[in-house]
């Protein structure tokens, strides 16, 4: 049962990404954010993308994935990539500060300059972590969080839903608060898989 639920989430996550890829092929001025579960996926669109565009993109994504375009399941801006990169960057900065503190022991006193002394090393370490984080995050996504093989997953419905407070927050983050990039939210329900 647990494996079946996990497989469904991974397939829905892959279909979510494929839908965003399809929308990107025909719409240049929009942002999207989504999240998947065992029932389907929520898709939040910011910009000039209609409900009909979303329905068509879901159908096209499903058709193309079923035809073998499994690569559409992977998206470079997935949360898996972002979290992996952020974790590595945080760890890199922490290690740089720890090395600086180890290099010049303070005897238990707080050394305000140790943070400044650690900055050059921390910046190099964080840049390295960002460079490594993106491809590593994509690999983790491919292996653990998406599945490009939809098996018997079918789209049951695509329906608009009210934008949530999280949708509104992402609208601000992804569009810089641009009022022309209106938020629309959808729930894509699936079955099978």
Return the pLDDT at 90: 96
Q: Please give the sequence-ordered ranges of beta strands (E in DSSP) within 11-148, or none if there are none.
A: 30-37, 40-47
Question: Is residue 42 a contact partner of residue 187, using CB atoms and an 8 Å limit?
Answer: yes
Return the pLDDT at 102: 78
| Separation of alpha carbons 49 and 26, rounded Å | 10
Give the gyration radius of the chain's Cα atoms.
Answer: 21
Question: Is residue 153 a contact partner of residue 193, using CB atoms and an 8 Å limit?
Answer: yes
pLDDT tens-place string over residues 89-122: 999 999 998 888 777 766 666 566 777 888 899 9
Nearest to 54 by CA among 127, 146, 161, 132: 161
The domain limits of the chain are: 2-73+148-191, 79-145
Identify the weakest region by mean pLDDT among 38-42, 51-55, 139-143, 164-168: 164-168
| Phi, psi at 123, each rounded to 5° | -65, -45
- Please say whether the structural domain 2-73+148-191 has been given the CATH code 3.90.79.10: no
| For residue 127, pLDDT beyond 80 | yes
Q: In what order do the strands lie in the sheet with 30-37?
A: 30-37, 40-47, 183-191, 154-161
* 16 Cβ contact partners less than 8 Å away, ≥ 6 residues apart: 34, 35, 36, 41, 43, 188
Question: Is residue 11 a contact partner of residue 149, using CB atoms and an 8 Å limit?
Answer: yes
| Mean pLDDT for the stretch of residues 35-47 | 97
Residue 163 has what DSSP assignment?
P
The three-state secondary structure class of 93 is helix
Return the pLDDT at 110: 55
Question: Is residue 154 a contact partner of residue 190, using CB atoms and an 8 Å limit?
Answer: yes
Mean pLDDT of the chain: 93
* 9 Cβ contact partners less than 8 Å away, ≥ 6 residues apart: 36, 37, 38
CA dihedral 158, 159, 164, 168 (to 10 degrees): 70
**Residue whose tokens read 């990039």:** 181
């Amino acid at each position: 049962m647990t494996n079946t639920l996990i497989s469904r989430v991974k397939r829905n996550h892959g279909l979510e990404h494929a839908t965003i890829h399809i929308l990107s092929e025909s719409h240049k001025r929009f942002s999207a954010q989504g999240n998947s579960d065992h029932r389907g996926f929520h898709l939040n669109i910011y910009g000039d993308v209609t409900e009909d565009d979303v329905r068509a993109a879901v159908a096209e994504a499903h058709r193309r994935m079923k035809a073998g375009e499994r690569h559409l399941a992977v998206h470079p801006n997935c949360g898996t990539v972002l979290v992996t990169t952020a974790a590595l960057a945080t760890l890199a900065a922490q290690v740089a500060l720890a090395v600086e503190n180890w290099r010049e022991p303070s005897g238990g006193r707080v050394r305000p300059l140790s943070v400044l002394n650690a900055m050059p090393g921390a910046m190099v370490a964080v840049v390295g972590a960002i460079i490594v984080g993106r491809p590593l995050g994509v690999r983790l996504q491919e292996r653990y969080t998406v599945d490009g093989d939809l098996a018997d997953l079918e789209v049951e419905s695509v329906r608009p839903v009210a934008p949530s407070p999280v949708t509104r927050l992402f609208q601000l983050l992804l569009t810089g608060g641009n009022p022309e990039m209106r938020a629309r939210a959808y729930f894509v329900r699936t079955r099978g898989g």
